[in-house]
Amino acid sequence: MNAAQEIAPVNSPLRRSVHVAETPAPRSPDGSLPAAPLELPKLKVEKLNAWYGSNHALHDVSLTVPARSVTAAIGPSGCGKSTFLRCLNRMHELIPGARAEGTLLIDGKNLLGRDVDPVELRRRVGMVFQRPNPFPTMSIRDNVAAGLKLNGIPGNHAEVVERTLRQAALWEEVKDRLDASALSLSGGQQQRLCIARALAVQPEVLLMDEPASALDPIATAKIEDLIHELKERYTIVIVTHNMQQAGRVSDQTAFFYMGDLVEVGPTEKIFTNPSEKRTEDYVTGKFG
Amino acid sequence: MAPETHTDKVYEAELAQLRDRLLEMGGKVESAIASSVRALTERDTALAEKVIASDREVNRTEVEIDDMCRRLLALRQPAASDLRFITTALKIVTDLERMGDLAVNVAERALDLAQSPPSKPFHDLTELADLSGSQLEKALDAFVERDVKKAEEVIAGDDMLDALYHRLFNNLLAYMMEDSRVIRRATSIMFAAKQLERFGDHATNVAEMVVYMVRGTDVRHPGSRGGEGAPAAPKA
C-alpha cells in the first residue's frame, strides 16, 4: 500500500489494489517502475464518434486510460484531440448541434448513459482549460471553494482550500493573501489556482486542455512538475500542441489526425519508434 | 500529410549535412585503411606518412560531427527516426574515428617494416584488408540506403573476417617457429592484422547501429554472437 492509495478519493471503490496484467505500468516521476500493483483502466473508450452538426469530428476512437497515469493527446489543430477531451466529461454535448456516440466507461460505468448526471460526472472528471479562468470577482479562497459551494458539499472549506492549494503547489505563494482577488495572481499562479479549484471537489480524473500554452517556461515547468505529483492520486488526460511537453509529462501518448486515433502507445515508443508512418511524420515534423 | 521531407527545410538540410559529413568521414577512413595496408605490403613509406597525416582531418571531422549532433539535439529536439538517426550518428562517429586510428597503427607498422628486409608476402593480409574495407563500405551503404538487410550482411560477414584473421595468425606463428629471425617482422604483421580484425569489429558496430536506426530495435550483444577467439570487445 502506498501513501497515494490511502488518500485516494473515497468514492472510487475500484481504486483498491487490483492486478491487471495487460495494463501498462505508468512511470513514476523518477522514471522507475512503481512498486504499487497495476490498476484497472480508469477510463475505457470504445468506438467513440463525435459530430458537430454534420461534421463527423471523431471516428471510432478506442482507447484505454490506466488509472493514475498521464495520457497525452497530440495532433495538429482540428485533429479531434480537444473534442475527444471534451467528450470525456460530456462538455462536447454543450455545444449546439454537437453529439457523441459510443462507449465511455469510467471505472466500468458508461458515462454516456441516459442515467448519468452530467453535473455529477463533471465533479468526478474535472477540467483545466488553456487560459486560466478564475472567477474574476472572487477571492483566491472563494475560487477554490466555489465548486464545493456549487455542489452543495458541506464541511470545513478552509481545510479543503489549504489542502488543494498545497496539492496545486500554490499554497506557499498565496497563504498570506487568500482574500486577495484571484486576478492579482500571475498567469501561472492563476492556472494553478484553477487546478486547485478543479481538485477541491475531489475529482478522479483531471482533463487538461493545453494547460500551459499561455504560460512562460517557468510557469510551464511548475505545471508540469505538478502534473507529475498529481498523477500519484489522479488520472490525467492532457491535450497539448507541445510535443516535448507530451514527452515530458505523459506515460502514454495518443496521436490524433483528422478525427482518427492513429496510434496510442507508451510515450517513449511514440517519440522514439512509432509504429505508424503518420505518427512518425508528425513527431519528426513532416507536415507537408 | 506524409511527405518524405521535413516541413522545416533548414532542419532537413541540417540532417542531410550530418549524413553527408559522416559519409565523407567514412570514405576517408575507408581509403586510409586501404592505403595503410598498401603502404605495408608495397613498403611505401611516403604513403604510410600520408595516412598518418590524414588522420588529423578524420579527428577534426569527428569533433565537428559531435558538435552538429549536439546542436541538433539541443535546438531541434528530434523525435522518432530523426532521434535514432542523430544518436546513431553520435555513436558511429566514434567507431569511424577509431577505425582511422587503426589505419594509423597499420601505417606505423608499415614504416617499421620498411626498415627491415622484405618479408614473405602474406596474401591473407591483403585479403583481410580488402574484406574489412568492404565491410565498412557496405555498412556505410546500409546507413545511407537505410538497408537493414545489407547491415545484417555486414554483421554476419564479421565471422569470415575473424576466421581469416585466425588463419593468418596461425600462419605467422608457424613462420616464426621456422625461423626466429623473422619474429620481429612477423609480430609487426600480426599487429597489423589485429588492427584489420578490429577494423571489422567497428564496421559491425556501425551496421548494428544502422539496424537500430532503421528498425528501432537494438541488435547488439545477443547471446549467440561473439566468443570466437575473444574478438576485441568493441570499445565503448
Domains of chain A, earliest start first: 37-135+204-284 (3.40.50.300)
Which residues between 74 and 93 in chain B have a beta carbon less than 8 angstroms from any beta carbon of chain A?
77-84
The helix/strand/coil state of B189 is helix
Model confidence at A37: pLDDT above 70: no
Model confidence at A89: pLDDT above 50: yes
Model confidence at A226: pLDDT above 50: yes
pLDDT tens-digit series, residues B2-18: 457 898 989 999 999 99
Contacts of B67 (CB under 8 A, 6+ apart): none
Task: Identify which of B5, B11, B77 has the shortest CB distance to residue A244.
Answer: B77
Contact residues, chain B, for A287 at CB < 8 Å:
1, 3, 7
- Supply the pLDDT for residue A4: 41
**The model's pTM:** 0.79
Task: Identify which of B7, B77, B216 has the shortest CB distance to residue A286.
Answer: B7
Burial of B86 (0-12, 13-18, 19+ CB in 10 A): buried
Q: What is this model's ipTM? A: 0.75
In a domain, B227, yes or no: no
A185 touches B at CB < 8 Å:
no
Residue-level length of chain B:
236
Number of structural domains chain B divides into:
1
> Nearest 5°: phi and psi at A92?
-55, -40
- Print the domain residue range for B170: 9-215
Average pLDDT over residues B198-225: 88
- Supply the pLDDT for residue A215: 86
Q: Which of A32-36, A49-53, A64-68, B200-204 has the least mean pLDDT? A: A32-36
Q: What is the mean pLDDT of chain A?
A: 86
In a domain, B30, yes or no: yes
pLDDT band of A9, cuts 50, 70, 90: very low
Contact residues, chain A, for B2 at CB < 8 Å:
277-278, 281, 286, 288
In a domain, B105, yes or no: yes
Contact between residue B43 and residue B36 where contact means Cβ atoms under 8 Å apart: no
Contact residues, chain A, for B1 at CB < 8 Å:
257, 278, 281-282, 286-288
Q: Which of A32-36, A219-223, B45-49, B176-180 has the least mean pLDDT? A: A32-36
Q: Which of A222-226, B24-28, B31-35 has the least mean pLDDT? A: A222-226
- Supply the pLDDT for residue A119: 87
CATH number at residue B51: 1.20.58.220
pLDDT band of A288, cuts 50, 70, 90: low
In a domain, B224, yes or no: no
- Supply the pLDDT for residue B3: 55
The distance of B79 to chain A (nearest Cα, Å) reads 5
In a domain, B235, yes or no: no
In a domain, B228, yes or no: no
